[in-house]
Amino acid sequence: MTPSSTGCSTGCSNGPRGDRRNEPRMSRIGLTTALGAVLLLLAFVALLIGPVGLTSGQVVSALIGRGGEQASIVVWNIRLPRVAGACLVGAALASAGATYQALFRNPLVSPDILGVSAGAGLGAVAGIFLALPVALIQLSAFAGGLLAVALVMAVAAAVRGADRVLTLVLTGVVIGALAGAATSLLKVLADPYDQLPAITFWLLGSLASVTAADITPALPAVLIGLVPLILLRWRVNVLSMGDEEARALGVEAGRTRALAICAATLVTASVTAVAGVVGWVGLVIPHIARMLVGPGFGRLLPTSALIGAGYMLLVDTAARTIAPTEVPLGILTAVIGAPVFVWLLSSGRRGWT
């Protein structure tokens, strides 16, 4: 027989694993409806919670514009922007995470893999350091995130003859470390009483001071980023089989991947500019969504977005209630995300290494 017949690896396992039946996957409409209903319920509960005690009746009347003055101000000016912000951030990060994981064929990848977070962090820290107004700090964060990814893609394109995906990821690590070093330098130089706490808080992520004026520019940017991802949903599946195979199946892999990366980066940078660096969401949530609906991107994207929105809402509501002072989001998402991740890792799901 052929020489390779002696090297029988996983390819020829005929054991019980090969015969195991697929777990039933939930029906599409049923699951989406259920997740949407849970999200609405969570949002309503989040509107009830806060230092000013409001009954559900007061919240409902405030929402339909017939509430008392105080209730209306609390609901519309304080709680609703925050609830909407949390949903937007969670949905955006989870969608971007699902996209990056498919594009880089690696379930360990997260939205900050190409240096988006590090770049956005540097942009924001520079803005705080220069004592810019809030809107400009956000713009600077957004620009920093996009710039870092552009740099990563340019450097990776200049490296020839190597595995493209691996080159991109490694370049992302390098540029991220560089941005991190620059951020550290600014922290050292910053005013320790005024600027440093603001920088630290921003780098850990928070929605504490989010207003409708912050969300208004971020929302269209996120939606613009999501459109190509929704349109390319089938091609993203094919890309996750690898560049060469995708090309043999008729996909212009390089171009399609670049478009999807730009879209996911826009989504990530937009919400990072509003909420700061919030880790773990984009890494863990797509896994949970994949367990529910499988890896097909057409279902994975909306499911990730819904679960991400609900999860972020829960975390943000906890962040503003569990302690007398605000807890930074990044701390909570890490405390929850790390054990969940270890559990996912140890439950022996394939493709983790």
Partner 1 sequence: MRLEARGLAIGHGGQRIGEGLSLALGAQEVICLLGPNGCGKTTLFKTLLGLLPRLGGTLELDVRDIARLSRREIARAVACVPQAHTPPFPFEVLEVVLMGRTARIGAFGQPSRQDREIALDALERLGIAELAGRDYERLSGGQRQLVLIARALAQEAPLIVMDEPTASLDFGNRLVVLERIADLGRTRGVILSTHDPDQALALSARVLAMSGGRMLASGPAAEVLTPARLTQIYGVPLTVEETPSGRHVCLPDIGGARQKGIRCD
Q: With CB under 8 A as the rule, give the number of residues binding partner 1.
A: 50
Q: Does residue 3 belong to the site contacting partner 1 (CB under 8 A)?
A: yes
For partner 1, the closer of residues 4 and 325 by Cβ is 4
Residue 160 interacts with partner 1 (CB under 8 A): yes or no: yes
DSSP of 2-44: -GGGG---GGG--SHHHHPPPPPPPPHHHHHHHHHHHHHHHHH
Determine which residue in the list 154, 177, 212, 231 makes contact with partner 1, applying CB under 8 A. Answer: 231
Binding mask of the shown chain, residues 53 to 82, with x at each position contacting partner 1 by CB under 8 A: ------------------------------
Based on C-alpha coordinates, what's the Rg of the chain? 22
12 is an interface residue for partner 1 by CB under 8 A: yes
Structure token pair of residue 115: 């240096």
Binding mask 166-205 for partner 1 (x = CB under 8 A): ----------------------------------------
State which of residues 34, 174, 224, 248 lies at the interface with partner 1 (CB under 8 A): 248
Q: Least distance from C-beta 46 to partner 1, angstroms?
A: 33
Position among 157, 217, 296, 341 found at the interface with partner 1 (CB under 8 A): 296
d(CA 280, CA 117): 12
Among 87, 210, 238, 283, binds partner 1 (CB under 8 A): 238
Q: Which one, 36 or 296, has the nearer CB to partner 1?
A: 296
Among 315, 323, 328, 310, residue whose Cα is nearest residue 51: 323
Please tell me whether residue 247 binds partner 1 under the rule CB under 8 A: yes
Q: How far apart are CA 243 and CA 89, in angstroms?
A: 30
Q: Verify binding: residue 32, partner 1, rule CB under 8 A.
A: no
Q: Which residues of 25-47 are buried (b: 16+ CB within 10 A; e: fewer)?
A: ebeeeebbeebeeebeebbeebb
The first and second tokens of residue 187, run together, are 């922290």
Residue 53: half-sphere exposure toward Cβ, Cα within 13 Å: 0
Spatial separation of the C-alpha atoms in residues 236 and 303, rounded to whole Å: 16
Which residues contact partner 1 (rule: CB under 8 A)? Answer: 1-5, 7-14, 17-18, 20-22, 102, 105-107, 160-161, 231-235, 237-238, 240-242, 244-245, 247-253, 290, 294-296, 298, 350-351
